[in-house]
Amino acid sequence: MRFLTAGESHGPQLTGIIEGLPAQLPLSAEDINPWLRKRQGGYGRGRRMVIETDTVEFMSGVRAGRTTGAPVTLVIRNTDYRNWSEIMDPAPGNEPRKKALTAARPGHADLSGGMKYGHKDLRDVLERASARETAMRVAVGAVAHKLLGAFGVRSAAYVPGMAGVWSERAFDWSLLEQIEASPVRMTDPSAEAEVIGRIDAAKAAGNTLGGIIEARFQGVVPGLGSQMHWERKLDGRIAQMAMSIPAVKGVEIGAGFENAMKPGSEVHDAIYWEAGRGYYRQTNRAGGTEGGMTTGEELVVRAALKPIATLMTPLPTVDVVSHTPADAARERSDTTAVPAASVILEALVGIVLAQAYLEKFGGDTLEELVERVERYKARVLAY
Ligand SMILES: Cc1cc2nc3c(=O)[nH]c(=O)nc-3n(C[C@H](O)[C@H](O)[C@H](O)COP(=O)(O)O)c2cc1C
Ligand SMILES: C=C(O[C@@H]1CC(C(=O)O)=C[C@@H](OP(=O)(O)O)[C@H]1O)C(=O)O
């Protein structure tokens, strides 16, 4: 299964094409739209999220509520486009365009992208660097999760800490409803209140905030990915996908960074076996992968998000047209997007897992795939 996305943040639409899905997968907009709603949420988002109500349309590959095996084309329209159609017009002329951006923002893609692609209106850079693109990737992720659901995988995303505040309450699957109800997707109401106060204060000060996000997957079969070659290692593929989320600057699987400072006896997860249960661990510090393969234990992926780059109290920069010192550009912006990013992480790691399932088990129809997965599960149990 491969996919491509296209579309500018303020263009008419985002487009995604997924190729390699099995036929007969039940699929409707209602499998995708709740993911899009969750991605738009979270305390600290800017006014753009009030303008958009992201919903998906199928343009190919789905008929009568199920996939046909053909490439699936997804579209999300940008409501905000009606305010940007002149600025984004592909026809020549009408230059210099309104809202041209020349004061490169430290921390955003503006300067590097401008130098690389030769743009002096840095809007030509930011339109695609923008995390708006993640709306379509989350839609693709929602399709991947539909497939994972058929294999018995379930997932969650939450925020263990942000804005300098750690949650005191560890994640538990019984807290899912509470996480969904939390405006910052945290498990701990007192941490949540503190974080909300800090977001308000940061916004008032023209500042921005980052944090840590985590996605978890239960019911993943052991042996996805491979130790045999670097590019097939699933931990590496997950890290690449996680790091590709805008503003993510660190990724770990399990207690990756903490484990590095401890002796092996306190890190590695002892192996046990029981008839009817097969192999299992009592700890999961590895976070669900060993040797570039899933272990069958819960997959735990964490990522670190830097604070949003656009500051309403801007940092010094240089204007790329005049080469004179300037205040960095102030664009309408989020104060923080950490809760949304946790949803993005969950969706996107789902894509990597769905790809790994499809590689290992193949099959042109969902039924064929599920049969193969079930047969493998039985074989693993007897191993
Ligand atoms: C959901 C989400 C929303 C974001 N919103 C903004 C924003 O409003 N303003 C901004 O400057 N950066 C925002 N970012 C971060 C930038 O897109 C990102 O920092 C930029 O593209 C540079 O890429 P890098 O940080 O990965 O190096 C957001 C990121 C995510 C995941
Ligand atoms: C549009 C989204 O996020 C955007 C990501 C973003 C950035 O620079 O990454 C900047 C902002 O764009 P705008 O200026 O249009 O408000 C965010 O709103 C979205 O998540 O759907």
Q: What is the pLDDT of residues 286-314, one digit of tens each?
A: 999 999 999 999 999 999 999 999 999 99
Question: Residue 194's pLDDT is what?
Answer: 98
Question: Residue 258's pLDDT is what?
Answer: 97
Coil, strand or helix at 39: helix
Is 198 near ligand 2, meaning CB less than 6 Å away?
Answer: no
Question: Residue 239's pLDDT is what?
Answer: 98
Averaged over 114-143, what is the pLDDT? Answer: 98
The whole-chain average pLDDT of the chain stands at 98
- The DSSP bridge partners found for residue 279 are 273
Do residues 140 and 15 touch, judged by C-beta distance below 8 A?
no
Nearest protein CA to atom 9 of ligand 2, as residue: 130
pLDDT band at 226 (very low <50, low <70, confident <90, very high): very high
Do residues 159 and 339 touch, judged by C-beta distance below 8 A?
yes
Question: Residue 334's pLDDT is what?
Answer: 97
Tell me which ligand sits closest to the C-alpha of residue 340.
Answer: 1
Identify the residue whose tokens are 């990756």.
256
Residue 240 CA to ligand 1 centre (angstroms): 17
Task: Give the whole-angstrom CA distance, residue 8 versus residue 127.
Answer: 5
Q: Which mutation among 37, 101, 108 tests ligand 1's pocket best, with the greatest number of atoms within 8 A of CB? A: 108
CB contact burial 208-233 (16+ within 10 A = b; e otherwise): bbbbbbbbbbeebbbebbbeeeeeeb
How does DSSP classify residue 231?
G
Domains and CATH numbers, the chain: 2-382 (3.60.150.10)
Where does the chain have alpha helices with state H? 29-40, 48-51, 85-88, 110-117, 123-129, 133-150, 176-181, 189-204, 234-243, 256-259, 338-361, 366-382
Question: Residue 339's pLDDT is what?
Answer: 98
Atom of ligand 2 lying closest to residue 332 CA: 14
End-to-end CA distance of the chain: 29
Question: Residue 116's pLDDT is what?
Answer: 98
Percent of the chain with pLDDT over 70: 100
Question: Residue 128's pLDDT is what?
Answer: 98
Dihedral of alpha carbons 238, 239, 240, 244, sign: positive
Task: Give the whole-angstrom CA distance, residue 187 versus residue 347.
Answer: 20
Averaged over 210-230, what is the pLDDT? Answer: 98
ipTM: 0.99
DSSP string, 87-123: HH--SS---SPTT---BPPTTSSHHHHHHHHT-SSTH
Question: Residue 356's pLDDT is what?
Answer: 98
Task: Give the whole-angstrom CA distance, residue 114 versus residue 103.
Answer: 11
Strands 13-19 and 2-6: what pairing? antiparallel
Question: Residue 280's pLDDT is what?
Answer: 97
- Tell me which amino acid residue 94 is: N
Question: Residue 113's pLDDT is what?
Answer: 98
How does DSSP classify residue 244?
T
Question: Residue 296's pLDDT is what?
Answer: 98
Question: Residue 213's pLDDT is what?
Answer: 99
Of the CA atoms within 13 Å of residue 249, those in its CB half-sphere come to 11
Question: Residue 170's pLDDT is what?
Answer: 97
Coil, strand or helix at 295: coil
Task: Give the whole-angstrom CA distance, residue 265 versus residue 258.
Answer: 14
Do residues 160 and 214 touch, judged by C-beta distance below 8 A?
yes
pLDDT band at 163 (very low <50, low <70, confident <90, very high): very high
Averaged over 244-257, what is the pLDDT? Answer: 98
Question: Residue 52's pLDDT is what?
Answer: 98
Question: Residue 48's pLDDT is what?
Answer: 96
pLDDT band at 317 (very low <50, low <70, confident <90, very high): very high
Is 132 near ligand 2, meaning CB less than 6 Å away?
Answer: yes
For the whole prediction, is pTM greater than 0.95?
A: yes
pLDDT band at 177 (very low <50, low <70, confident <90, very high): very high
Is 48 near ligand 2, meaning CB less than 6 Å away?
Answer: yes
